[in-house]
């Protein structure tokens, strides 16, 4: 039982989560989840449920949801949603909202990205590359001024500047 008088209810939360009214058109039809690979996970990723939580403005429940993170970004939901809700983008938007409201949600990979420019050791895979006859790549670490520029740019974004302690050092 969710008592809407007792729960944290933010009527306009959807605006904070998503960038357009598209989400309000969701009529819980289920098309998105019928095609969603991650709906096979346990607990299942159910966009219609997430959309409902957003629209009802149930902050605590939405913060607790792990399922947005199990999306495989296949965008099938986006293709089939009759109402043009853009469910995949909604899922990403919910992640961003969670990141904004709970720093433990920050994906560690963005720290790597900030520091190295890549999520994989692109510039360090020299031996493997050589084994197939490839040389080194013009990776960003080879252009320090570019890497600095890239980092300066990111430092101007909210997620990096608000959590700068994670990115420095």
Residue 40 or 165: the one with the smaller Cβ distance to other proteins is: 40
Residue 168 has a CB neighbour count (10 Å cut-off) of 10
Q: Does 56 bind ligand SF4 (CB under 6 A)?
A: no
Nearest to 23 by CA among 97, 103, 99: 97
Q: Which two tokens stand for residue 89?
A: 């983008």
Residues 12-41 that bind ligand SF4 (CB under 6 A): 26-32, 35-38
Whether the Cβ atoms of residue 88 and residue 79 lie closer than 8 Å to each other: no
- Taking the complex as a whole, the smallest distance from the CB of residue 107 to ligand SF4 amounts, in Å, to 16
Which residue has 């939901």 as its token pair?
A: 77
Distance CA 56, CA 2 (A): 11
5 binds, among other proteins, ligand SF4, none (CB under 5 to 8 A by kind): other proteins
At 158, give phi and psi (nearest 5°). Answer: -60, -50
Q: Does 53 bind ligand SF4 (CB under 6 A)?
A: no
Among 14, 91, 94, 110, indicate the residue that binds ligand SF4 (CB under 6 A): 91
- Taking the complex as a whole, the smallest distance from the CB of residue 32 to other proteins amounts, in Å, to 9
- Taking the complex as a whole, the smallest distance from the CB of residue 85 to ligand SF4 amounts, in Å, to 4
Q: How many residues bind ligand SF4 (CB under 6 A)?
A: 28
Q: Compute the radius of gyration of the chain from its Cα atoms.
A: 20
Q: Which two tokens stand for residue 161?
A: 């500047």
Q: Which residues bind ligand SF4 (CB under 6 A)?
A: 26-32, 35-38, 45, 47-48, 51, 71-77, 81, 83, 85, 87-88, 91
């Amino acid at each position: 039982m969710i008592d809407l008088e007792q729960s944290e209810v933010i009527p306009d939360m959807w605006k904070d989560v998503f960038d357009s009214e598209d989400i309000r058109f969701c009529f819980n039809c289920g098309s998105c989840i019928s095609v969603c690979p991650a709906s096979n996970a346990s607990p299942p990723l159910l966009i219609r449920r997430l959309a409902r939580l957003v629209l009802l403005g149930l902050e605590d429940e939405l913060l607790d949801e792990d399922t947005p993170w199990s999306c495989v970004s296949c965008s099938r939901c986006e293709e089939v949603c009759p109402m043009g809700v853009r469910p995949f983008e909604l899922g990403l938007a919910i992640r961003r909202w969670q990141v904004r409201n709970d720093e433990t949600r920050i994906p560690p990979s963005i720290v790597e990205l900030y520091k190295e420019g890549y999520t994989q050791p692109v510039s360090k895979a020299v031996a493997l590359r050589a084994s197939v006859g490839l040389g080194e790549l013009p990776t960003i670490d080879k252009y320090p001024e570019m890497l600095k520029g890239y980092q300066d740019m990111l430092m101007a974004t909210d997620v990096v500047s608000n959590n700068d302690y994670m990115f420095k050092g």
